[in-house]
Amino acid sequence: MSGWLLGLRMPERGSLIPFSAVLSHRMIGCAVLLLLVFGIRGLLFAPTAALASPPEPASPQVHLPAGSPGPDLNAPAIQQEPPGVPAGPAGPGGTPLPGKEVPEEPPRLTISLLGDILLGERIASQAARYGPDYPWQAVRPYLTGDHFTVGNLECPVSTRGVRQQKQFTFRAPPALLAGMKKAGVEAVTLANNHILDYWHPALLDTLQHLKKAGLDYAGAGPHAAAAGELLIKEVQGSQIGVLAFSGVVPAVSWVAGTKTPGVAALWPWERTVQRVAQAARQVDILIVSLHWGQEAKTVPEKWQVHLAHRLVEAGADVILGHHSHVLQGVEVYKGRPVIYSAGNFLFTRSRLPLAWRGAIFQVDFKGDRPVELRVIPTVLGDGRVQLADSKTARQIYQHLEQVSRPWGLKLAPDGRVQIPE
**Per-residue pLDDT reduced to its tens digit, 45-56:** 443 333 333 333
Q: Cis peptide before 69, with omega less than 30 degrees from 0? A: no
**pLDDT band at 21; cut points 50, 70, 90:** very low
- Cβ distance 230 to 282 under 8 Å? yes
The share of the chain scoring above pLDDT 70, in percent, equals: 75
The answer to whether the CB of 116 falls within 8 A of the CB of 324 is no
Does the pLDDT at position 313 exceed 50? yes
The dihedral through the CA atoms of 171, 224, 326, 417 has a sign that is negative
- What pLDDT shows up at residue 117? 98
Q: Is the pLDDT of residue 73 over 80?
A: no
Tell me the sheet residues that pair with 382.
none
Q: Is the pLDDT of residue 220 over 70?
A: yes
Burial of residue 419 (CB within 10 Å: 0-12, 13-18, 19+) is: middle
Per-residue model confidence as pLDDT tens digits over 233-288: 999 999 999 999 999 999 999 999 999 999 999 999 999 999 999 999 999 999 99
CB 192 within 8 A of CB 154: yes
CA–CA gap between residue 297 and residue 376 (Å, rounded): 21
Checking if the pLDDT of 384 tops 90, the result is: yes
- β-strand 357-366 against 108-117: which pairing, if any? antiparallel
E strand segments, 306-384? 318-322, 330-333, 336-339, 344-346, 357-366, 369-380
Phi and psi torsions of 311, nearest 5°: -70, -35
Residue 107 per-residue DSSP state: P
CA–CA distance from 43 to each of 33, 36, 37, 40, 420 (Å)?
Answer: 16, 11, 10, 5, 65
The reported pLDDT for the residue numbered 77 is: 36
The residues near 159 (Cβ < 8 Å, ≥ 6 apart) are 173, 174, 205
Average pLDDT over residues 91-96: 40
**CA 197: distance to chain centroid?**
35
